[in-house]
Amino acid sequence: MDIEELPGVGATIAEKLREAGYASVEAIAAASSGEMMDIGLGESTAQKIIDAARTNLKMGFESGLDVLAKREQIGKLTTGSQELDNLFGGGIETQAITELFGKFGSGKTQIAHQLSITAQLPKEKGGLDAGAVYIDTENTFRPDRIQQMSKALELDPEEALSNIQVARAYNSDHQMLLAEKAAELMDEKKIGLVVVDSLTAHFRAEYTGRGTLANRQQKLNRHMHLLQRRLADLHNAAVIVTNQVMSRPDIMFGDPTSPIGGHVVGHHSTFRVYLRKGKATKRVAKLIDSPSMPDAECVFDISTDGVRDG
Ligand code: GTP
Ligand code: MG
């Protein structure tokens, strides 16, 4: 069904919706009226269109069996390290956001690179048999590293690179727009993984000073909402976001670091992993507050081949 067939959607509104990335009835049904109002629709129009889309898709309650069927679709993506996979109960899950947080050099970007390649592997090898989208906010995507890691998995390096769609985000607005563009891309192409590396760097740089925190959190909230519903849920994709932690010298006991974005990012992440440096190329990963898995730790290694057991 075309979005024009929804009551209340004429050519002008259809164009607005498409421009903002709401190209399908599913995408509209998954939106909030606030999101629709952000693209210039009036409140009652927004609500009417969303309701129509939801009715059309019979959204709302679903039976426990439907929930089960959806959960059975959850894919598990290997990190390259069995130990690290075990932490997540067998790999990074689709239909979920996994947050990697840690200080600089703790391995966030390396894991993101590795997953962009393993996503392409067939399912029996721990992959998702799909491509990846990489939203790069810090200009740290390295094609040569992708080539190196794919050779180690006996994949054709050129092909591996061609299956990763990379976009550089220049500011937080651009980053949010790219997430919407990713949703459109996923309507056309089989994408199993979306990386946002770093989720928070632009937000942190742009929203400084007093009085801006609430705005930042609200925007971050909207961004994560979209990542969960339009990317992870609708397309059965794994979403990886990275978050650098700040040192918190005011905290005297325990680990003096805390992820930025605080509870907003935490609330939206199904899995949160704290990464820290070990000896040389060893890294320690700790799963935090997982709904289904015990809080556990493991050691892994960042080798020339990529992420491996420690
Ligand atoms: P920030 O983005 O600065 O917060 O850090 P990060 O957590 O993303 O760290 P990143 O993943 O970039 O780097 C972690 C470590 O991986 C580095 O300290 C290097 O030791 C290692 N590393 C990075 N690139 C390579 C590479 O090409 N080969 C190998 N063998 N190791 C690398
Ligand atoms: Mg990084």
Identify the burial level of 12 via C-beta atoms within 10 angstroms of its C-beta, where 0-12 means exposed, 13-18 middle and 19 or more buried.
Answer: exposed
Annotation: CATH topology of 3-56: DNA polymerase; domain 1 (1.10.150)
Between 111-125, 149-163, 265-279, the lowest mean confidence (pLDDT) is in 265-279
Alpha carbons 268 and 271: distance in angstroms, whole number? 9
Q: What is the pLDDT of residues 149-171, one digit of tens each?
A: 999 999 999 999 999 999 999 99
Query: Which residue of 110, 300, 304 sits with most ligand 1 atoms within 8 Å of its CB, as the best mutation to test the pocket?
Result: 110
pLDDT at position 127 over 80: yes
102 lines ligand 1 (CB under 6 A): yes
Q: What is the pLDDT of residues 49-81, one digit of tens each?
A: 999 898 888 766 778 998 899 999 999 999 999
C-alpha distances out from residue 18 to 2, 23, 96, 235, Å: 11, 5, 25, 18
User: Band of the pLDDT at 260, cuts 50, 70, 90?
Assistant: low
Half-sphere exposure at residue 35, Cβ-oriented, CA atoms within 13 angstroms? 23
Kindly give the distance from the C-alpha atom of residue 266 to the centroid of ligand 2, in angstroms, as a whole number.
Answer: 19
Kindly give the distance from the C-alpha atom of residue 110 to the centroid of ligand 1, in angstroms, as a whole number.
Answer: 6
Q: Which CATH number fits domain 70-309: 3.40.1280.10, 3.40.50.300, 3.20.80.10, 3.40.50.970?
A: 3.40.50.300
In total, the chain counts a number of residues equal to: 310
pLDDT at position 249 over 70: no
Kindly give the distance from the C-alpha atom of residue 109 to the centroid of ligand 1, in angstroms, as a whole number.
Answer: 6
C-alpha distances out from residue 229 to 18, 30, 39, 268, Å: 17, 7, 18, 11
Stated as kind and residue range, the H or E segment containing 293 is none
Residue identifier of the C-alpha nearest atom 29 of ligand 1: 304
Q: Which ligand is nearest to the CA of 145?
A: 1
Share of the chain above pLDDT 70, in %: 94
User: Band of the pLDDT at 245, cuts 50, 70, 90?
Assistant: confident
* Cβ atoms of 76 and 123 closer than 8 Å: no
Residue identifier of the C-alpha nearest atom 21 of ligand 1: 302
* Cβ atoms of 129 and 121 closer than 8 Å: yes
Q: Which residues of 90-105 are buried (b: 16+ CB within 10 A; e: fewer)?
A: ebbbbbbbbbbbbeee
- Residue 57 dihedral angles phi and psi, to the nearest 5°: -95, 5
244 lines ligand 1 (CB under 6 A): yes
What is the average pLDDT score of the chain? 91
> What residue type is assigned to position 94 of the chain?
T
pLDDT at position 253 over 60: no
Query: Which residue of 100, 109, 141, 199 sits with most ligand 1 atoms within 8 Å of its CB, as the best mutation to test the pocket?
Result: 109
Q: Which of 272, 212, 214 is nearest to 245 (CA)?
A: 272
Residue identifier of the C-alpha nearest atom 30 of ligand 1: 304
Q: Which of 260, 250, 218 is nearest to 99 (CA)?
A: 260
- What is the reported pTM? 0.84
Kindly give the distance from the C-alpha atom of residue 281 to the centroid of ligand 1, in angstroms, as a whole number.
Answer: 9
Kindly give the distance from the C-alpha atom of residue 141 to the centroid of ligand 1, in angstroms, as a whole number.
Answer: 11
Q: What is the pLDDT of residues 275-298, one digit of tens each?
A: 999 999 999 999 998 878 888 999
Per-domain residue ranges of the chain: 3-56, 70-309
Structure token digits, residue 136? 């790069």
pLDDT at 59: 62
Q: Is there a cis peptide before residue 198, judged by omega within 30 degrees of 0?
A: yes
Residue 254 DSSP SS3 = coil
Atom of ligand 1 nearest to the CA of 111: 11
**Alpha helix positions (H), the chain:** 11-19, 25-29, 33-38, 43-56, 64-72, 82-87, 108-118, 143-152, 157-162, 172-188, 201-206, 213-226, 262-268
Task: Give 76's DSSP letter.
Answer: E
Residue 243 DSSP SS3 = strand
User: Band of the pLDDT at 256, cuts 50, 70, 90?
Assistant: very low
